[in-house]
Structure 1
Amino acid sequence: MAHIESLFVTRLYRAALSEYGPKIDAQELENSCLVIAEDDDAGHDWCEANNYPGYTSYASLSDLPWRFPIFKQVVEALDKHVAAFAEDLEFDLDGRKLELEDIWINVLPEGGSHGSHIHPHSVISGTTYVAMPEGTSALKLEDPRFGAMMAAPPRKKDVRADLKTFVYVAPKVGDVLLWESWLRHEVPMNFAEDNRISVSFNYRWA
């Protein structure tokens, strides 16, 4: 009898940010994101120059935990989530650990989207969700083998989850999602009238 098994599994970590460390005040975190976005002229200039819809602090601010104590609390919690995910992935870290490389705010307005991309210089990437209005975008994840499927027929409409070419994950406010940084992902167009607000980050091998 034939034996079929799954190989080269892609892992996705999902948990409540508050599962580790103190409970994060969601309203305070949202207000902090908006205050920073309002004052970050360099960030808005970068967004305009690069046709980025909405706002991101990715290219302008590298010290969010220093600016607002609540981001320090977020990072303290993220450190523990990332350590748990690294253990699940069975990384041999050789006595070192994964450390925060960068963390940034995203404010995506109605009609905004963020195209497909990877984070090639990091080990683990992720996002924690601050404001997710009804009707806003899910996170879209792409099968890492997709570019090699040149002659493959399409999958059936009811294909099981582990064989889908694209997977959409709809997080809730307060969730944190983690994935290995080579996993291609995107944020489709935001059809909600209100802003979709998130905080994204990368971890590197120290």
Structure 2
Amino acid sequence: MAQIESLFVTRLYRAALSEFDPRIDPEELENSCLVIAEDDEAGQEWCEKNGYPGYTSYASLTDLPWRFPIFQDLVKTLDQHVAAFAKDLEFDLDDRELKLEDLWINILPEGGMHASHIHPHSVISGTTYVSMPEGASALKLEDPRSGRMMAAPVRRKGARRELQPFIYMKPKVGDVLLWESWLRHEVPMNMAEDERISVSFNYKWE
């Protein structure tokens, strides 16, 4: 009898941010994101100049954990989630560590979206979700083999999850999602009237 098995698995980590200490107050984190966005004139100018929907601190504030205590605590919590994911991935880190490379705020208004992309030069990337109003867009993850499928037929509707070309993850407020940084992903258009707020980050190996 034929034997068929799945090979070369792509892992996705999902957990409640609160599984590790220090605990982050969701309301305080949301208020901090909104206050920072309002005060960050350089970030606002960058978003306007580059046609970026809503607000991101990616190009303006590279030291959030140094500036704001709640982001210091957030990094301490994220460090533990990343360590748990790295253990699951069975990485041989050769006595080195995965350390935070950058951390930034995303505020996506109604109609805003983030195009498909990867995070070069990083090992693990992720997002924790601060505000997800009803109708806010999920995270769309793309099968990393897509560019090599060439003449392959499309998958049937309702195909097994591990065979689908795209996976949509609908996170809740307080969730953290982690993936390897080479995994292509995007945020489809936000259909909610209210803003979708998240904090994204990259970890590097050093």
Do Structure 1 and Structure 2 share a fold, with TM-score over 0.5? yes
The correspondence of residues 54-203 of structure 1 with structure 2, limited to 5 A, is 54-203=54-203
The correspondence of residues 3-18 of structure 1 with structure 2, limited to 5 A, is 3-18=3-18
Which stretch of structure 1 is more off in the superposition, 146-155 or 107-116?
146-155
Cα displacement (A) at 1:22: 2.3
CA distance in 2 between counterparts of 1:60 and 1:193 reads 26
CA distance in 2 between counterparts of 1:150 and 1:133 reads 38
Q: Which amino acid aligns with 1:114?
A: H
Structure 2: segments with no counterpart, 5+ residues: none
Give the TM-score of the pair, scaled to structure 1: 0.99
Taking only aligned residues, the RMSD between alpha carbons, in angstroms, comes to 0.5
- Aligned structure 1 segments of 4 or more residues deviating by more than 6 angstroms: none
What's the CA shift string for 1:61-118, capped at 9, x where partnerless?
A: 0111122111111100000000010010011000011000000000000000000000
**Percent of pairs with identical residues:** 78
Which stretch of structure 1 is more off in the superposition, 188-197 or 19-28?
19-28
Q: For 2:94, what is the secondary structure of its paired residue? A: coil
Cα displacement (A) at 1:48: 1.1
How many residues get paired? 206
CA distance in 1 between counterparts of 2:24 and 2:101 reads 21
Give the TM-score of the pair, scaled to structure 2: 0.99
Cα displacement (A) at 1:169: 0.1
Q: For 1:51, what is the secondary structure of its paired residue? A: coil
The correspondence of residues 37-56 of structure 1 with structure 2, limited to 5 A, is 37-56=37-56
CA distance in 2 between counterparts of 1:125 and 1:50 reads 23
Structure 1: segments with no counterpart, 5+ residues: none
Cα displacement (A) at 1:34: 0.3
Cα displacement (A) at 1:43: 0.6
8 A Cα contact 2:55 2:106, kept in partner:
yes
CA distance in 1 between counterparts of 2:57 and 2:121 reads 19
